[in-house]
Amino acid sequence: MSDFKGLLMGMLVAAILYVLDRYLPKWFGAIPGIAFLLLMLYIIFTKDQSLLTKLTVLIVGEAILNGIWLETLEERKKKSIKEIEKMKAKDILRKK
């Protein structure tokens, strides 16, 4: 049952980060990835478990965190491009 609780907690954290990345500055998305990396390095060197399991968690976790961050950056870029196109269209209409 603890594995299921851990999975639910991980999904909750990912959902919170997904929402926060939309409203906080661009650089915020790097902080959870760095914090997770440091936490996993600490766990790798201090806990006595399978190294393969720890590396799997590290790789999957970083992939999820960085995926959320990069997706948010792409959406922000698309949104800014749309806003610029709208402003250019308004400028063209004003010149006529």
- The tens digit of pLDDT for each residue in 42-96 reads 888 888 778 888 888 888 888 888 888 888 889 889 999 999 999 988 888 887 6
Q: Quick check: 40 pLDDT over 90? A: no
Which sign does the torsion angle of CA 69, 22, 34, 52 carry? negative
**CB of 72 within 8 A of CB of 29?**
yes
Total-model pTM: 0.69
Query: For residue 81, what pLDDT is reported?
Result: 94
